[in-house]
Amino acid sequence: MTHTFNPTVLREYDIRGIIGETLGPDDARAIGRSFATLLRRAGGKKVAIGYDGRVSSPILEHALCEGLTASGCDVVKVGMGPTPMLYYAEASAEDVDGGIQITGSHNPPNYNGFKMVFQGRPFFGADILEIGRMAAAGEWVDGSGAVETREVMAEYIERLLQPIVALGDVGRDRLSALRVGWDAGNGAAGPAIEALVPKLPGEHFTLFTEVDGNFPNHHPDPTEEKNLADLKALVAEKNLDFGLAFDGDGDRIGAVDGQGRVIWGDQLLMIFAEDLLKIVPGATIIADVKASRALYDQIAAQGGKPLMWKTGHSLIKSKMKETGAPLAGEMSGHVFFAHEYYGFDDALYAGVRLLVASARLNRSVTELRGAMPNMINTPELRFQVDESRKFAVIDEVKDRLKDSSDEVNSTDGVRVTGADGWWLLRASNTQDVLVARAESDTEEGLKRLMAQIDQQLALSGIERGPQAGH
């Protein structure tokens, strides 16, 4: 028996497709068989599986379970919840060797997919291609695995509360006056947030915690400012100290301060880094190539070691393991704490750590946001380019800049730093687009940086034109 996947489904960081068009139960079954075969070859036996709130998730879970057991793996079903709850089930249980979450993350409702952990490490890139190769060859072991259901939500919530417990009485007293908003966006984190907030000090207000895979209120992607409108309104109406927002599967966080200003991913990392470097002096802190120069400068100024790395949650997690970094983050709102936690991206845990950082630093989130340098930058700009051209264009740009007097960093695409600031051009690993970003101290500087991006695109035969959507 063999299986061939739609070529668009097996991606760099995970597996994702459109239900009924490029992804369905047969794919889930084949993923289970390949993953179980690889795990058994590596000496593993038991896989935890969970799923998000999408309409299609229970059907895929059933098929995935069939595939895993048919190749001899035992399955621990943890049910519906945020992706980090599945990661927690995999990381905290001694008898579990791997984990798979069925989730479409922040994609539209008709998408779904799979995020995987293999014996405590991210499973991506070549691993995912191997799933496809094995399925096409029918290279699966046979077996008969058992299935059990395990309740982990309550245990997961208690684990999220540990930073509050560790604060001590003074810190908890500071938090008791806090008023915070939480917007789950009808995503899978909703029930966990409802269970968490009554146990936190302070007063908490929740939005859209009922799980609805059609996302009737707004799309659950906190990196798009328009999706934060409801949270901003709640913060203003209730006079809250700050607000938190979550993506569809709870592994990415967004935030607004008490004045309704967005706290972007790299700005959240500035707060977390300031807090952490007081506890772990000299620590390495990782951020992706899209992050502000202000973040890297601040980490260095506070005695930390800033490390710029490639965009992508799997790539960042791997780099953390390699370097022993206790903290990392991305512009997209993935925040990774290995300090007193497991090193995976957990937006609920990041939310708790923001409360704790505010208490330990003895400054409000609004004060912390207000103290940040006022950089002028673009949002992520995306330009449609043929899949076969996107990496070639980046190579052409690198080649043209090899004798440049500016600083050229090619960790992930091309990030060029000069007198006006910096600009970035990189190929998306998940879409047929080039991603650009620029940052300067002045509007005029930003215009000059954008002109450099335009020039490089034009030299490679790409018109900037209308930008591609997310």
pTM for this prediction: 0.95
The residue among 313, 382, 288, 309 whose CA lies nearest residue 105 is 313
Of the pLDDT bands very low, low, confident and very high (cuts 50, 70, 90), residue 468 is very low
pLDDT at 294: 95
Mean pLDDT, residues 206-217? 96
**Digit-coded pLDDT (tens) for 249-263:** 999 999 999 999 999
Say yes or no: do domains 156-370 and 376-459 share a fold. no
Mean pLDDT, residues 101-108? 90
Q: Give CA angle at 336 (335, 339), nearest 5°.
A: 130
Task: Reply yes or no on whether the pLDDT at 384 is more than 60.
Answer: yes
Rounded Cα–Cα distance for residues 332 and 467 (Å): 18
Of the pLDDT bands very low, low, confident and very high (cuts 50, 70, 90), residue 5 is very high
Spans of all domains in the chain: 15-151, 156-370, 376-459
Of the pLDDT bands very low, low, confident and very high (cuts 50, 70, 90), residue 171 is confident
Rounded Cα–Cα distance for residues 351 and 353 (Å): 5
The residue among 78, 93, 73 whose CA lies nearest residue 32 is 73
The 3-state secondary structure of the chain, one letter per residue: CCCCCCCCCECCCCEEEEECCCECHHHHHHHHHHHHHHHHHCCCCEEEEEECCCCCHHHHHHHHHHHHHHCCCEEEEEEECCHHHHHHHHHHCCCCCEEEEECCCCCCCCEEEEEEEECCEECCCHHHHHHHHHHHHCCCCCCCCCEEECCCHHHHHHHHCHHHHHHCHHHHHHHCCCEEEEECCCCCCHHHHHHHHHHCCCEEEEECCCCCCCCCCCCCCCCCHHHHHHHHHHHHHHCCCEEEEECCCCCCEEEEECCCCEECHHHHHHHHHHHHHHHCCCCEEEEECCCCHHHHHHHHHCCCEEEEECCCHHHHHHHHHHHCCCEEECCCCCEEECCCCCCCECHHHHHHHHHHHHHHHCCCHHHHHHCCCCCEECCCEEEECCCCCHHHHHHHHHHHCCCCCCEEECCCCEEEEECCEEEEEEECCCCCEEEEEEEECCHHHHHHHHHHHHHHHHHCCCCCCCCCCC
264-290 burial, b for 16+ CB within 10 Å, e for fewer?
A: bbbbbbbbbbbbbbeebeebbbbbbbb
- For the ranges 290-299, 380-389, 461-470, the lowest mean pLDDT is seen at 461-470
pLDDT at 157: 98
Mean pLDDT, residues 356-374? 96
Task: Reply yes or no on whether the pLDDT at 465 is more than 80.
Answer: no
- For the ranges 18-22, 40-44, 87-91, 167-171, the lowest mean pLDDT is seen at 167-171
pLDDT at 469: 41
Task: Reply yes or no on whether the pLDDT at 86 is more than 90.
Answer: yes
**Digit-coded pLDDT (tens) for 122-140:** 999 999 999 999 999 999 9
CB atoms within 10 A of CB 294: 17
Q: What proportion of the chain, given as a percentage, has pLDDT over 90?
A: 90
Structure tokens at 176: 């008791």
User: Which class is domain 376-459?
Assistant: alpha beta
Candidate list 34, 105, 314, 428, residue with the active-site label: 105
Mean pLDDT, residues 27-53? 98
Of the pLDDT bands very low, low, confident and very high (cuts 50, 70, 90), residue 464 is low
Of the pLDDT bands very low, low, confident and very high (cuts 50, 70, 90), residue 219 is very high
Of the pLDDT bands very low, low, confident and very high (cuts 50, 70, 90), residue 106 is confident
Rounded Cα–Cα distance for residues 330 and 335 (Å): 7
User: How far does Cα 93 stand from its chain's mean position?
Assistant: 23
Active-site residue 176, yes or no? no
Task: Reply yes or no on whether the pLDDT at 470 is more than 50.
Answer: no
Task: Reply yes or no on whether the pLDDT at 349 is more than 60.
Answer: yes
Of the pLDDT bands very low, low, confident and very high (cuts 50, 70, 90), residue 355 is very high
Of the pLDDT bands very low, low, confident and very high (cuts 50, 70, 90), residue 14 is confident
Q: Mean pLDDT, the chain, as a whole number?
A: 95
Mean pLDDT, residues 85-100? 97
Right CATH for 15-151 from 2.40.50.100, 3.20.20.100, 3.30.450.20, 3.40.120.10: 3.40.120.10
Mean pLDDT, residues 392-405? 95
Q: Which long-range contacts (CB under 8 A, 24 or more apart) does 455-458 make?
A: 456/397, 456/400, 456/425, 457/383, 457/393, 457/425
**Digit-coded pLDDT (tens) for 368-379:** 999 999 899 998
Q: HSE (CB half, 13 Å, CA atoms) of 130? A: 12
Rounded Cα–Cα distance for residues 431 and 41 (Å): 32
Structure tokens at 174: 């500071």
Q: What is the CATH number of domain 156-370?
A: 3.40.120.10
